[in-house]
Structure 1
């Protein structure tokens, strides 16, 4: 008979105790960060395997059954229907305007309206960031999309008015004409309200749906994506001296986040031929 020493048993027991916390449920903050980091969460999906992914999935759905104030925000993150998702984010913002995720919820509502072509509604939500959340990480983007929404909607004088306000309020803000693509194409090189962007090493990524020689075809593709709740745009690009109109979705700070959107395109509308590109 093989004898097992008490020291060996104690060693194994200690290993179990040490490893146990790793298998604990994830906190609300960890779960939200997990999603925001680009990990796609399939709604109503549970995973039975004891691995890191299953812990996040199951922890998220446990959190959703609580009365935590962030439940609406979490519901918005995992809801793949754009309109339903925006309702969750609105509810969260209205009830928790001081929450650390409130500014992100505001931007997500604004993005939904922008992608739906409701530019005035989009501008109302983007406007909240520079006036209510001046320290938000979304400040630069929100100011740019706010002005662009107004410009596309035909409110040029209002754009001029706010540009002067923002120059005083945020003198160090790096305005870039990258967000004026639609109005520039539409109005054939409309005068930009933004200075040339400063060179930096920050990479941005988008999901490219396709490139078209015909601008109307590109707009039709964008309209289809917008109707499904995707924040899409048309950008004019030159390839070997020839002009094309590229339909792109999102501006992401990592290829992983862009990949998450690519998965959404597959699950929502069965679009499998998109590619991830680095935006220069």
Structure 2
């Protein structure tokens, strides 16, 4: 899966860096040959996290662009590359979130790092669109207990949000939710509750009071109150979360039952028509 990097095979003034730690690389992936690592440990970590899924896609993205004498051809190639990068970013983001949902934060790190690199390549190093990538890395760092790393990521995210006062409520709710998680991990419960309150405010503005997204903010607030041994408040918030989920699941079941009924009715009508056709055929 990996082989040594030969410096003489690379163009002058180019350095191959490790995909994980950005230190000088000594190995490269034998499949795509455009991804490099400092050692086998980082190569294996990247493969297990995300690279196995995106190895072939990396070839078309990282292979140097062919010479094009016409600007129109260069523009088309650049547009295709951006589309591939966006697809890669979405795939890496979904993969990282899956690892996080399973509580496998170490496995999520390479995928989350790839999300940030793709976002930088697409939007530039100071764009507001980088905020979700930094928040994802912060969430992973909190899960690993690397709170200083999480603070660095959140500082970058906050700085970008402050530079863009007109950013969406979705971004603001995600920012405050992640800040609340960091404060909770640091046992700064007062600050955590403040951030979770802002999270609930922005998520309710964007998605509605009865949305599952808003319920997530209530749930996190309830956890903090539980840690403070304020069980009356936490229980009331848990009840609100339960009510929201019950309503959501009931609606899903009702929709499913209705579709199942419509499907059964449809197939019943089909059987009826088929029987008519068969009887007509026999009559002939």
Q: TM-score, with normalisation over the residues of structure 2?
A: 0.38
Whose strand fraction is larger, Structure 1's or Structure 2's? 1
Higher helix share: 2
Rg larger in structure: 2
